[in-house]
Structure 1
Amino acid sequence: MRLWIGLYLPRLPLDVFSPHWSAEAASVVLEHERVLAASPLAQAGGVREGMRRGGVLMLLPQARLHEREPAREAAAMQALAMALLQYTPQVTLAEEASLLMDVGASLRLFGGVRALCRDIRAKVRALGFTARLSCAPTARGAWLLARGGSGHALGMASLKRHLDRLPAALPLPARPFAAWLDGIGCLSLGQLRRLPRPGLQRRCGGALLGVLDAAYGMTAELFDWIAAPTTFQARLELFDRVEQADALLAGAHSLLLQMTGWLCAHQLAVGRIVLLLEHERGRVARPPTVLDIVLAEPTWRDEHLVRLLRERLGSLSLEAHVIGLVLEAPEVQAMAMPSESLFPEPGGSEQDQWRMLELLVARLGPENVLQAAPRADYRPELANRWVPVQRTRRTAQQQMPPQLPPDLLSLPRPAWLLAKPVALLMRDHRPFYGSPLRMASTPERIEAGWWSQSQTRDYFIAQGQDHAHYWVYRERIAGADGDTAPRWFLHGLFG
């Protein structure tokens, strides 16, 4: 099924200069000293499109005036297109602040047309833009429906009915002839199509007929698709100085959406992201604050990354105002698609467990969430160390000791190993710990260490009169004080 989605941004100048314009007193965008766009509050104060700057200041002296910047608008459209690459690699820029997406191959993946459109609308709002969305079997038809606000058409018959009701002057080639079309009573595209084609071509040129034929599916269409760069770095300039770190989440989310689209375009997953919080420039300039987030499991979805940033920003205390954000993805790898099992494991998948650990790290700090890392040492107190759980599984696997013989793996070990062995008393030539201990196993000999750190021990499983089991060892070297009697130590307790 061939299906196109058209996105038209009717308020792009306002969206670019102030995504939160509805909360302001008034916002006005000027082009050549005349009003191009005005927020609802400015319109309520009497500001109209085409009004001069002096008239705006006379009506609303407190209005916020912005000059239109085409370069900034183009950058905003490019950022939006980059974020939408997560739905399809076929995204192209169209006229008048519009985007076209060929989503026919993505419908099943995202749960159908309605779910896909709902998700795209949510992403566009998260990026801070106001958009009008439409669906059609042709790209030019989707653009005309979005531009005219005429809804969705999933079949050619429905598309023709919707297009026939649109104004005749809506296509760009028809606008110079709007007065002539109105004078002959041609008010809709349906009436325009019924005019004689040779005469319409002589009067308006072949461009208008080309647009109509493409919209109604009579000719093929060719496009230049958006190409994602080889590396990712996105910057967002804030519209005001931000003093609270948690207020930066909305801007960081928009950057994450761009990164998600870039990752999907290249079939990559990110293992580490870096968010730079830029501060004041000039004489009071200071280096940016760096938020470095290392992921235990590479991902290409933004939901989990947003939760991690929310935790990190919520616990961050800013030392200076923030005026801009920069997001980088320094560590990426090939995307590994998840495998769906017929019977899911209880407690969630392995990826869900790693995401939970990452949230704990973001909330408690990397030094407070540790994991065991075995070491190649036979001495029990040195055979393990605790390292931050942020280390990836690849790094942990590189630090794993060599495979032990099967006979050593079968030896029992206590569930509780004491941090420091406890010297035991001797009564009637037997170690004593609350009661005389009886050896319940054959000895396990451990000789390890170098030079002054060498250890020679015989380990036993001992049982007390209360039937509790202990892990004890006997030193095989006489004490330094000349006492030749072996010394016994308690090193662990069995559960």
Structure 2
Amino acid sequence: MTVPISPQPLSRRIMAIWCMGLALDRWRLAEGCAAGAGADAEPLALIAETAHGPRIATVNAAGAEQGVRPGAMLADARTLCPQLAVRSADPAGDLAFLENLALWAQRWGPWSALDPPDGLLVDTTGTAHLFGGEAMLLADARAQLARRGLVARAAIAPTAGAAWALAHFGPESAILEAGDDLMDRLAGLPVAALRLDDDVLLLLRRLGLKRLGDLAGIGREALARRFRNRRSPGANPLVRLDQLLGRVPEPLLPVVAAEQPMVQRRLMEPIRHRPLLDRVLADLAEDMARALEGRGEGARRLELAAWKVDGDVVVRRLEMAAATRDPAHVCRLFAARLDDLDAGFGIELVRLLAPWTEPLALAQAELDAAAERHGTSLAACIDRLTVRLGAEAVRRPLPRASHLPERAQRWAPPLEPLPGLQEDFAFHERPLKLLDRPEPIAVIYEAPDGLPRLFRWRGGVHEIARAEGPERIAPEWWRERSSVRLRDYYRIEDSTGRRYWIYRHGLAGDGRGGAPEWFLQGLCA
């Protein structure tokens, strides 16, 4: 009798990739410099703007040899290294580059996750045999990353925490097998291998706990009492230690590629004349409409790219006020953007991409789309005005929850929905016309805190016949400094019947400046 043997479940294998100089490597790639070439010959740093001035975000090897360290103020770094060259850091661009790198890294496993700001985690469970073993997989990863111009380290372990610790602090291309004692193998690594916050690392060093093995010699109850109020994983060494050893699961968010609708035409012969390009655009718009209809979506942004014979690429972009997939409307909008296109020796490839789409339900073509076909709908009109005048010229004001008049509205896209505001922001009437900025006026009043009697504005003297107020508006303490003064607003009418909206900036003796100042901010009906 044969007894079937159930296959043993595969132990989880995680590969951690650490791009040690991601920001600098990305800058080198953008500038066309190779690592170790002229880019590293001179001290170079990428700086980030902060509230206290520019700080060093990252520095190359030449700058580090001169004593420049990340986090230092640029002025201090220039004191140590006067010849330091600086460029602006781009954290958003680095994150986008890392996301694309995570999708590319899925060649080694079924899914990958981000480990910001400069790392990746790849699930390689059951894939190592495709590369000849885990050692060969790591060698392939190093070779492929080097080919892309990235300096990186990699390690494989049963848990994400262990793989991260080895990639950052372990030997080159380290591998932890499933049956290894993780604590025994990792005991010599510093406590920074637990991915803890800086203040927690400082506290552990003050307690004399510098290695992971030191934590194993401390009772869990003692550590639990010390860090019982620390909820986040980065602030609690016990949580991070359990994740590293696989005692508790660590949630990871895989990076999933968002498919963007794209259609293209490879032309048998290059085209140079506008009527032929319009015909190709019409065909692409029809293809895009069918692709979007199959997805139940409409395009909010479209990109038309034309590849010339000489290798040059011309790109034209559109952003619509509302989602659409009407080919005729798309062609009308692109027509104005193609007037200045120079075909050169000819265009051989045309591609239409929809990077921004929104759900768009099917509608009756004979009734609901009649306005779209004739270009009379509001969204179609706004799109045509935007193409002609520019995106910044077609905006509408929307109310914003702020008592300060100059902040009570903002400019938004034409079809953006109205925000839900609280009723208490609308109980005071505001003038129909506000000046672009408040203008100073000279005011005569009976008492410093009394009603104004006479004011001078733009060379004219106005005698106040009636006054209403004050309406006191306090500064927004969560945005302003503590020295900002109060405002007392008055609705006034002069002897000729003209009405104004003025305010007194500050109070006499409030300790926040000199004498109160007066400003005219609006004209009342």
TM-score scaled by structure 2?
A: 0.43
TM-score scaled by structure 1?
A: 0.45
Larger Rg: 1
